[in-house]
Amino acid sequence: MFDQNEMKTAFAIIMDQVKGRVPVYFGIGAISTTKCVALAEMAEKMGAKGISILQPMFLKPTAEELFQHFKTIAEAVPNLPVLLYNNPGRTGYTIPTTVVEKLAHKVTNIVGMKDSSGDITQTSEYIRMNRDVDFKVFGGKDTLIYATLCHGGVGAVCSTVNYMPELVLPIYDKFMAGDLKGALEAQFKMNPVRLSMDKASFPVAAKDMANLRGQDVGNPIHPSLSTAEGSVAREAMKAEMKKAGLL
């Protein structure tokens, strides 16, 4: 939704606000390999500590085309760690496990991936097939953080942690402390809030919830619109947030 200049401006603001306190990864979702390379090089010059790359949307690439796409981008920034980003719900197809395995074993700086498939078997296969190399798999489905950790994932990349960290972090923290029952209960507490977002437009619900919590993140970019006050979707989100103690 952003052009390259807008992305550069936004990333400059992010880097200024972070001030080196935590590593910042730059997410890339362009369709063409050339544009992705340009964005990766821009991010590196601006101080990104890594990049993540979504598979090209709209296209239906072959396994070889996907391999060459990710390989070319990663090799353009050899000093940056690269995460693959599998999101079939937004692109229309899944990155094949064989492609991920080949990239993990042949491209040195491709060090892991985020899997938002929502298919725990898919996530598990990404983990199983790359256990012999230093390749980390993160969950991308907020409702499956616990399941991802149980299958050997190292964590999760969650939109929800931006506006309700008190519901998300305990899942990971309790799991790592060996409190599996507590981690599962934390997952179950968070899930109804996350699922209530599905009644609204994507990714508008994330801004809706942040604004409801007083973060003042503004309105979404057109054609997206904020969820209307009094609508079924907005009231459902508010109800679950109240039950969880967020409002």
Q: Which residues have a catalytic role annotated?
A: 85, 114
Where b means 16+ CB within 10 Å and e means fewer, 8-33 reads: beebeeebeeeeeeeebbbbbbbeeb
Helix%, strand%, coil% for the chain, nearest 5: 55, 10, 35
| Sequence-separated contacts (24+) of 157-161 with Cβ below 8 Å | 157/114, 159/203, 159/206, 160/190, 160/193, 160/194, 160/206, 160/209
